[in-house]
A and B are shown apart, each in its own frame.
Chain A
Amino acid sequence: MPPLLLIVGAVAGLLGAAVIGLFGNRWAAAGPIVYVVAIVALLAAGGTALLQLLAPAVGGDPTLVLPIGLPSLAGDFQLETHFRLDRLSAFFLLILGLAVPAVSLFAIGYGHHGTEPARVLAFYPLFLAGMVLVLIADDAFAFLVAWEFMSLASWFLVLAGHRADETRRAAYVYLVMASAGTAALLLAFGLLAGVAGDYRFAAIRAGHLADLAAVLVVVLTLIGAGSKAGLVPLHVWLPLAHPAAPSPVSALMSGAMTKIALYAIIRVLFDLVGPVGWWVGVILLVVGAASAVMGVLYGLFQRDLKTLLAYSTVENIGIIAIGLGLAQLFRANGLAVLAALAMTAALFHCVSHAMLKSLLFCGAGAVLNATGSRDIERLGALIHRMPVTAVAMLIGAAGLSALPPLNGFVSEWLTFQAILAGAHLPQWSLKFGIAVIGALLALTAALAAALFVRAYGIVFLGRPRSAAAAEAVEALPTMRTALVLLAAACVLFGVLPFAVVEVITPVTDLLLGQSVPRQGIASFLWFVPLPDSASSYSGVVILVAIAVLASIVVLAVHRLASNRVRRAPAWDCGFPDPRPETQYSADSLSQPLRRVFGTALFQARERVDMPPPGDRRPARLEVQLRDLIWIWMYEPVAGGLGWFTERINGLQFLTIRRYLTFMFAALSFLLAIVAVTQ
């Protein structure tokens, strides 16, 4: 069966599932049916994509033209919508095929749809369908319609918990940012299609774009798709909307939808717009570094588990953007092999992050299900009550902290190698700039580890801080299976990175004409991305070596020394306190980091109100952090818009004479223009 027909069939299946989901309020079996259809559809699509990447069909990429949509403006007024499965689309479809089935399996057991499950069940398949359609779209019309479809479906999903105030605010901000983003993308595609008006990607690729137009296209795409991906400073909707949605949906919004946005950036920048200057790479680098550092710093000071994970998404998207920026810099300077290395790093991180973030959000969903709370200051000691979830979340946290031998580390390692390769660039300012970016990336990696130690340690370790945490129950078997599958896949890809690189090399071949060199038989063990630099990494060796060394130590110590254990109350330096409030809270854990980084970037202030001796009221400690991006960028814009609209509102209340005056003035103006330009 032709691959694209299979994928379109999967989309049709998803649309059918959406119809079934409408009955979710009354029919209990609708939920599992919808999710099973989603699993099957995305597995089929992902499998097709994998086949297309590893064993491509002869005769070029599969294409499909459907007789629906707008009349083509290229003269013949036929209704047609174009679809194509080229290697870049196939790669991102594969990412969807990895993340979505696991998350859907998790969602089968996840019961927090509230009182109206149909709200989620009807729109979840539509969301997935939108994402798939964006990937296979081959003309601007299909792309934009699918993009809006995806945004609106996810907006409805965010509104599933619409009774809460902050959910409504989150949905409002999301709607505004998404609409602005789509408007920017509309303009970008309009410029790409040019005066001829041919919206097919094939025609855009063949056409030639003026320099100014190319600049505008790139900037507009970065604004439109960058906002959806979560690049600072257009990220503000992400930490509001992602946590507000139900957990499986948050997992897909963070794990999959952001990757679709990155796909849009890669498609426009590396495929459609043709060669652009290296300054584009600089923009991506700067924005990426800012997103990485600010994302992780924001996340360090959050109390809500899902908001923390959303900010971590911002950080990881920043890392991917750094990789893409480096790829563009190398490409513009003709260093194709190094560009392939940087692009490989970025694409590998797309895969790693999609899986790790899905794992973490699903785990957060399990925690929310079990305890009813997202506030980490109300949790604690869940490792005793939810052992399987705890292990899976540990792997997720370790993965995003870039610890070997997990997959998060491989992409971080590749990104560092690409930064080191920046020494080959001829421009001096770029050399220094990339050194600074390297320092910022290293800072981000260290702070990400701190973020996850804090998140994991406060939620799962210690003593329970509330009754809900003390009485939590382990997640349902389907949820646990999904978590374990995702965790196992993360370990597998970390230990055998060549499997992922095999899938990435066709994509870099397509976009850059070069790829990371074939590794040969030894690639099973050692991974050497640049043969003349001899830097290598072997996940298998590290895993095996640590296992062997740990086993030797355990055996030796237990045989030769002692293996007795006695349980006793905690030592606590001789002053044990049974109350769980005496242990460190999340805010205390981040206090040193708040002192070091927060005073400059967040205007962090601590105020102590100490009552005088004799006064019995409690002392108060107040910590204040301000979101400077929101205050300096969004509030003035919103304020200005408000002022402007207040003024314009006066137009509603004019007399008839004034309206006539307006019409007269407009008429005279247009006649004057015609007279002058004649």
Chain B
Amino acid sequence: MSDEQDIILADLSDEELTLQMHDDLYDGMKDEIEESVNILLSRGWLPYDVLTKALVEGMRIVGIDFRDGILFVPEVLLAANAMKGGMAILKPLLAETGAPRLGNMVIGTVKGDIHDIGKNLVTMMMEGAGFEVKDLGINNPVENYLEELESGEYDILGMSALLTTTMPYMKVVIDTMIEKGMRDDYVVLVGGAPLNEEFGKAIGADAYCRDAAVAVETAKEYMAKKHNQLGA
């Protein structure tokens, strides 16, 4: 995104540095992102502001260009890797400084599927947006999801699959939740390359999310609805 060379990050103003971080995220420059995060923190920025104004906003731009076919999966992965570097610095600080929490989510790739790139992106973006996320990893049978949901105060269940052969397992999980009378206690979001909105509806999910940015927006909408209902 940027052609500039040899920029001394510490010499940039806050505004310039934030914009530079958007560029560096876009270009997948992990070392520069880590350095910039530390610079902003040393200038007294709240971890939550570094996260939202620099990292999340940068990834939002990456997400738009991915959706519009300007960036492709490899570039998004490099950007995500850079953001991960920044998040690793911020995460312990966010807990200490009482950053707002929007809700709690359990996420995992379904049984028989070991693909986790999309799931990891969603996890990172959800965390960036203020959700607490428990990542169950890959190849999860229904028991893993249910045990985790029952063990904590969760709002959202996210399931991911990359294969047409494994995506039907999402229905097994949802049907089991219905059998146990717990389906309506959670918002169920599903995603993965071979899925579509029709599939999401057919299996009884609340929403299909075509990418990480949509997952975040959808989760926020459902949490807002939930709070409105509780307040009514």
A interacts with B = no
